[in-house]
Structure 1
């Protein structure tokens, strides 16, 4: 099993960050460009991966009371992950994303995963900022 984790501090209330991250209709705005989530009968979702042009059955659970998202593949158990939002005071939040790969075929490698996690967290922060600016304006 291979595990990866990245965190990022964001200048936004944790509820704002979690609401953006958990919105299935807006996940494409912050997930890696190669991944697309389509809601089924929740918690069932389909994840399309451009790299392999494959659809994978997965589960996605939002736990708003814990400000946590959890996901993973359904049939083969190839990977799981979670996103946790925590308030750190003064209107800021820390967002942590953790991925676990149980099947080497699902693991695109350390550099690719770390780059994707960093990019996703940057994009999530930008989406939170844009949404906050739009509601303030």
Structure 2
């Protein structure tokens, strides 16, 4: 099993960051370019991967009270992950994304996984900034 984790500080309240991260209609704005999530009957979703042109059945569970988003494959059990948002004071948040690959065939390798996580966190921060609203 391989696991990868990255974090990023964002200048926004944790509730706002979580709302942006958990909005399935906006996933394409921050997930890696090759992945697309389509909501079915929540928590069921389909993840389409452009590189393989394959759809994978998955589960997606947002837990707003914990500021946590969890996901994973349904039938194959190939991977799982979570995103956690934590307030760090002064209106800022820390976002951590964690991926676990249970099947070596799904594991892209450390460099590729960490690069994708870093890009996704940067894109999420851009998404948060685009939809920023005044603190109140």
TM-score between the two structures when normalised by the length of structure 1: 0.96
Compute the RMSD of aligned alpha carbons.
0.7
SS across alignment from 1:129: helix
Kindly provide the CA deviation profile for residues 57-83 of structure 1, in whole angstroms up to 9, marking residues without a partner as x.
000000000000000000010000000
Matches within 5 A, 1:63-74: 63-74=63-74
TM-score between the two structures when normalised by the length of structure 2: 0.97
Counterpart residue number, 1:76: 76
Counterpart residue number, 2:17: 17
Counterpart residue number, 2:86: 86
Counterpart residue number, 1:51: 51
SS across alignment from 1:61: strand
Counterpart residue number, 2:26: 26
Counterpart residue number, 2:95: 95
Counterpart residue number, 2:35: 35
Q: What's the CA shift for 1:109?
A: 1.2
Counterpart residue number, 1:108: 108
Asked if residue 62 in structure 1 is aligned to residue 62 in structure 2, the reply is yes
Counterpart residue number, 2:128: 128
CA distance in 2, matches of 1:51, 1:111: 18
Structure 2 runs not aligned, ≥5 long = none
Q: What's the CA shift for 1:4?
A: 0.1
CA distance in 2, matches of 1:51, 1:67: 31
Kindly provide the CA deviation profile for residues 95-116 of structure 1, in whole angstroms up to 9, marking residues without a partner as x.
0000000001111111111110
Asked if residue 117 in structure 1 is aligned to residue 126 in structure 2, the reply is no
SS across alignment from 1:104: coil
